[in-house]
Structure 1
């Protein structure tokens, strides 16, 4: 009983920094620098899906012609809408996070300037090559793990919430790492040291942001909130580590 209560207290104590980080991230949505990043990332994400939707429509036209299927325009449009909707639901998290990676520094810098000016002075901006490599690695991980989760989600397709829970868990792990690494890599040196953020804290943050990305309209700002919250959580962990070392 004593061990169980100790574990519960430890988990609650770790939820504190995560909840505080998310709260601070929402408060910072009023920051013009954050709003600019949000506008750019949302616009580019939507543009990608619009272009993809147009590509699907004309791709279906070609496919129907090749199969000599005399389907009407309504059938082609309906098929394009269904495919685009499924792709949007499945790929939104991957595409939105990949787009945000290119603006991650702007979010991190805005948070650091407002809340952690001393730590901001010690940050080392990532070279474009390393930033691009990290973005591509993150995109690769997201695609790989989501594709691996597809068969499990397919088995649970006829359950009420099975597929959503599967993708929620997968993306919670992915997002927790990506969102904290955005800030940590600016301070970790080369080669990067292990992140000071606990795995349980990363999982809690990733779960919260992954859940937000399932909610219509809220999903558009979820990556920005996640990047800001990940920065707060990382700096809080850095300060706790330095305080412990002291």
Structure 2
């Protein structure tokens, strides 16, 4: 029987819930003799916990919110360089990954079974807004912003500078970049503000997440109103 180790990193945006932590804890206890816990907070503190309840009951205030959780299943009842299963959840904006799974000193059947079951549980913390960070969505928004800006410039600015100005197209191109670059980066900041890459939905952050939902509705409504207003204005100017 083959024996080895397994490592997987999950890079989606995450919403770490109490249910997911409990499910992982139950699974680790079913496979291991003991489980140890550790979590790190945004104020620089690093805590050891005796049980998953210590993490779940942590107040999780905004000035010291959880940024990393580690759950280590020990097959021999002690931490050594082998015989363990490690599940970690991270603040993706700080550590690049949102979760990781390590399995060491296991045979091929164990690796297949554990990685499948734990991987499924970990996948459940994937935030439903992960699409907002996909390269295709960002490319689409860039193209949409570019199109709106280009049409607006050619509708309102070109007629004012085109006469007796042989370099008008260059001036328009420069103006387009001047407007588009900060606008696109501003859009990215709005995405990060309304759709944070990682949320540990524990303690005070549960209320924070509820506020985020209302914040998104307001942002989507505002962006939609602005875009429709600009498009309507262009259509009226161009065709009526």
**Which protein shows a greater Rg?**
2
- TM-score, structure 2 normalization: 0.32
- TM-score, structure 1 normalization: 0.32
The structure whose residues are more often strand, as a share, is 2
The structure whose residues are more often helix, as a share, is 1
